A and B are shown apart, each in its own frame.
Chain A
Amino acid sequence: MTGSNRLAGLRARPKDESVHQTKIVDAVGEAHGFLDRTPRRKPGRKPSPRTYQIHPKIMPEIGDAIAGEAERLGITQGALIEIMWRSYSERK
């Protein structure tokens, strides 16, 4: 092939891209095993982003203090709350 644009002589050919035609094409494809293989999304509600908030009723500075102490001790906030509960129960 040369550098000259011989392809310029080729023209765009109109094609039917209607929804009706697409349905026909899909049906023909399915008959030959050409199926819709689009990956399905996982069903259900997406998990909410983590806020690391213990409870909506806990004041933010207390929540932050609990989170910081749990991190310092290397345990989860739930484990720290269990310790706090035992301490509270003993005092009661």
Chain B
Amino acid sequence: MPVIVMASPKGGVGKSTCAVLLATEFARMNAEVTVLDCDPNHSLTRWASRNIPPGIRLVSDVGRSEIVQTIKRADGDGKIVIVDLEGVASQLVSRAISQADLVIVPMQATALDAEIGSEALALVREEEDALGRTIRHAVVLTKTSAAIKSRVQKDLESQLQSEGIDLIQPSLVSRAAFSELFAYGGDLTSMLENKEMTTGGKVDKALENARGFAEAVYDRLK
């Protein structure tokens, strides 16, 4: 099954959020999901320590020297591997990309995120040339506005499309429920059903957004 790598040398762009949303949605589809937490901030380990949904296995503290073999051990038919990387330009990132079937580069609709995120895209293309195989890659815009599409976002989308970069639609909207996942653990479905969890946001809209995102990623894995 595919290895999906979340990569961007910039921190705070939504790599861990994307990883959690995909892991929970794919687990809900009865896939056996292994999540590799390679981020020294341990965002996914904290999320899993609160409540890890069935079907998801977490491996923490995966470093540069172990990443390739850890992915190999976790990969296999009937399994899906999601790698959440640190937000720095490191060999850990380049090694993880070399084992990917799909690299997702999350970025907010800002010039800075786009500039730093493009470094990851350039690295993927260079690795494709060096390894002689295609590594599918795509950008997803994160923390976008639910109400309106900003001018900056429109410009960035048209720029990415003009450069032939695959842009995942829908973008991930800025939703309180996405942040609250890290406070409660678990997934959005359990959050929607549990009335004791208060998010201050629209969980149903967040779930709809997450499912649309997971569908778009699934289409790229076929």
Contact = CB atoms under 8 A, between A and B. Distances in A.
A5 to B, nearest CB: 4
Contact of B95 (A9, A12, A22): A22
B26 A26 contact: no
Nearest to B76: A12
Given A10-B2, A15-B99, A17-B68, A29 B80 contact: no
Contact of B89 (A4, A6, A32, A38): A32
B131 A29 contact: no
Contact of B119 (A22, A26, A33): A33
Contacts of A10: 1-2, 80, 221-222
Contacts of A3: 28-30
- Determine the main DSSP class of A at the interface with B: loop
B122 interface: yes
Contacts of B64: 36, 38
Interface of A: 1-13, 15-17, 21-22, 24-38
A34 B9 CA distance: 9
Interface in B69-96: 69, 71-72, 75-80, 88-95
Contacts of B89: 32-35, 37
Contacts of B63: 38
B123 A29 contact: yes
Interface in B1-60: 1-3, 9, 25-26, 28-31
Nearest to A2: B29
A10 B101 CA distance: 11
Interface residues of B, number: 49
Contacts of A7: 1, 26, 29-31, 80, 218, 221
Interface of B: 1-3, 9, 25-26, 28-31, 63-65, 68-69, 71-72, 75-80, 88-95, 97-99, 101, 119, 122-123, 126-127, 130-131, 133, 211, 214-215, 218, 221-222
Contacts of A24: 130-131
B71 to A, nearest CB: 8
B77 A12 contact: yes
Contacts of A34: 9, 89-91, 93-94, 123
B130 A1 contact: no
Contacts of B215: 1
Contacts of A4: 29-30
A27 B69 CA distance: 19
A35 B101 contact: no
Contacts of A1: 25, 28-29, 211, 214-215, 218
Contacts of A15: 3, 72, 98-99, 133
Contacts of B101: 13
A30 B28 CA distance: 38
A89 B63 CA distance: 60
